[in-house]
């Protein structure tokens, strides 16, 4: 029999067993208790389960720690884009190549301006009459027509207050218009039926035609004009004066001279187009660019006929007056 000291000693561990700390500590068996031996095949699944659970717990710990300790991702900087305001009605956007300083001063495109420049340059120094005023026109009088005479006729007091010119050959007059664009059809119909609106040897100041401007500066009636530009008054609303009287007066002035170039702007609008055809005659149209038409009119002081008989008719059934109102509004 074994001694008591030898019986209390733990069993010897085989040298071939790996040096692994047991997960479960086996307590020494007390006397009288049967020794339970667990088979190795049953321990392997238990160990695998415990190791897998520890691995999963460790991964969860790493994930939670990383989520709470990592700094937030930096967002890309927000760029604020300024929205360009729409162009106000009645004004045009000025391109870089346009000879004006701002969009509000623009009235002619670059191609239109070059056409007008060529017309005046071919006649300069000349007598230049302009219905309406825009800042870009000052270059025409100060540089291109420096040796001639330039007269502006403007009805807008706000524009007149901003005009600054020191050229002796340039005169600017304020004029008044008593017509409305909404009455364009009535005025045209009356002009066709009235002998007072036909061409005659009398002066504009004594004319009975409602389209004739009879209160212009005296210089306008006395001078023979080489170039007449119609770019005023305003005609973009039914309550605006419209350019009916300016186009008719320009046609009478042109026929009183030897050979006059009459330039009409904004011919895309109903009034400018129809009154230019009616009193300046389409057979006199020699050049055009964009919304700019150039008519060359010879002297016909002894003729009472404005234009040769036309096949183009304006019938009331078409609603010419309503077309004008719808176009302008």
Q: What is the CATH number of the domain that holds 180?
A: 3.40.50.150
| pLDDT, position 182 | 96
Q: Say yes or no to pLDDT of 250 above 70.
A: yes
* Predicted pLDDT of residue 62: 63
157 within some domain: yes
- Domain for residue 75, yes or no? no
Total domains, the chain:
1
Better pLDDT: 217 or 79 = 217
**What is the structure's pLDDT at 256?**
87
Name the phi and psi angles at 203, rounded to 5. Answer: -90, 160
Q: With bands split at pLDDT 50, 70 and 90, how would you rate the model's confidence at 161?
A: confident
Mapping DSSP onto H, E and C, the string for the chain reads: CCCHHHHHCCCCCCCCCCCCCCCCCCCCCCCCCCCCCCCHHHHHHHHHHHHHHHHHHHHHHHHHHHHHHCCCCCCCCCCCCCCCCCCCCCCCCCCCCCCCCCHHHCCCCHHHHHHHHHHHHHHCCCEEEEECCCHHHHHHHHHHCCCCEEEEEECCHHHHHHCCCCCCCEEEEECCCCCCHHHHHHHHHHHHHCHHHCCCCCCHHHCCCCCCCCCCCHHHHHCCCCEEEECCCCCCCCCCCCCHHHHHHHHHHHHCCCEEEEEEECCCCHHHHHHHHHHHCHHHEEEEECCEEEEEEECCCCCCCCCCCCCCCCCHHHCHHHHHHHHHC
Mean pLDDT on 182-200: 90
Q: Which two tokens stand for residue 298?
A: 């010879």
Q: Note whether residue 187 is domain-resident.
A: yes
What's the pLDDT band for 224 if we cut at 50, 70, 90? Answer: very high
In a domain, 193, yes or no: yes
CA dihedral (97, 103, 105, 111) in degrees, to 10, reads 40
**Mean pLDDT on 145-170:** 86
Tell me how far apart the alpha carbons of residues 287 and 1 are, in angstroms, rounded to a whole number.
139
Full domain range(s) for residue 136: 103-328
Decide: pTM greater than 0.75. no
**pLDDT on residue 45:** 75
DSSP structural state of residue 36? P
Residue 60 covered by a domain: no
| Residue 231 scores a pLDDT above 50 | yes
Whether the CB-CB separation of 54 and 200 falls below 8 Å is answered with no
> Which segment of 16-30, 256-270, 290-304 scores lowest on mean pLDDT?
16-30
> For residue 56, what pLDDT is reported?
78
User: What average pLDDT does range 255-280 have in this prediction?
Assistant: 95
More confident residue, 68 or 103: 68
The answer to whether position 12 is within a domain reads no
Going by pLDDT thresholds of 50, 70 and 90, the confidence category of residue 217 is very high
Would the pLDDT of 47 be above 90?
no
* pLDDT tier for residue 90 given thresholds of 50, 70 and 90: very low
The answer to whether residues 245 and 212 touch, using CB atoms and an 8 Å cutoff, is: yes
Region 119-137 average pLDDT? 94
221 domain-assigned = yes
How would you classify the pairing of strands 292-298 and 259-265? antiparallel
pLDDT at 293 over 90: yes
Q: 184-193 and 270-280 are packed helices; what angle lies between their axes, rounded to 10 degrees?
A: 10
pLDDT of residue 86: 36
Q: Per residue in 132-148, pLDDT tens?
A: 998 889 888 888 999 99
More confident position, 321 or 69: 321
Task: Return the SS3 of 265.
Answer: strand
pLDDT for 111 equals: 96
pLDDT at 151 > cutoff 90: yes
Whether residue 70 is predicted with pLDDT greater than 60 in this model: the reply is: no
Helix (H) or strand (E) holding 297: strand 292-298
Q: Is residue 145 part of a domain?
A: yes
**For position 21, what pLDDT does the model report?**
46
Half-sphere exposure of 25 (CA within 13 A, CB side): 2
pLDDT at position 180 is 96
The CA-CA-CA angle for residues 43, 46, 50, to 5°, reads 135
């Amino acid at each position: 029999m074994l001694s008591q000291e030898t019986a209390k000693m733990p069993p010897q561990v085989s040298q071939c067993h790996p040096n692994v700390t047991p997960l479960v500590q086996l307590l020494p068996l007390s006397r009288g208790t049967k020794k339970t031996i667990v088979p190795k095949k049953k321990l392997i699944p238990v160990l695998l389960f415990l190791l897998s659970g520890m691995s999963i717990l460790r991964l969860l710990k790493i994930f939670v720690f990383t989520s709470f300790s990592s700094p937030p991702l930096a967002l890309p900087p927000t760029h604020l884009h300024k929205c360009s305001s729409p162009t106000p009605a009645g004004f045009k956007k000025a391109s870089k190549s346009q000879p004006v300083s701002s969009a509000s001063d623009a009235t002619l495109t670059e191609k239109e301006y070059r056409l007008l420049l060529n017309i005046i340059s071919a006649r300069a120094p000349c007598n230049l009459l302009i219905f309406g005023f825009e800042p870009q026109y000052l270059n025409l009088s100060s540089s291109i027509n420096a040796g001639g005479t330039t007269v502006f006729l403007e009805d807008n007091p706000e524009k007149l207050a901003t005009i600054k010119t020191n050229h002796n050959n340039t005169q600017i007059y304020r004029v008044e218009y008593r017509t409305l664009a909404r009455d364009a059809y009535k005025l045209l119909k009356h002009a066709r039926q009235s002998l007072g609106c036909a061409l005659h040897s009398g002066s504009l100041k004594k004319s009975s035609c409602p389209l004739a401007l009879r209160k212009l500066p005296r210089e306008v009636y006395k001078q023979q004009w080489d170039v007449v530009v119609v770019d005023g008054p305003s005609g973009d609303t039914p309550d605006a004066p419209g350019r009916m009287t300016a186009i008719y007066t320009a046609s009478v002035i042109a026929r009183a001279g030897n050979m006059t170039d009459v330039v009409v702007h904004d011919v895309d609008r109903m009034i400018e187009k129809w009154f230019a055809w009616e009193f300046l005659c389409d057979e006199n149209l020699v050049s055009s660019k964009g919304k700019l038409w150039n008519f060359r009119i010879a002297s016909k002081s002894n003729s009472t006929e404005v234009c040769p008989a036309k096949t183009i008719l304006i019938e009331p059934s078409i609603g010419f007056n309503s077309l004008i109102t719808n176009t302008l509004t």
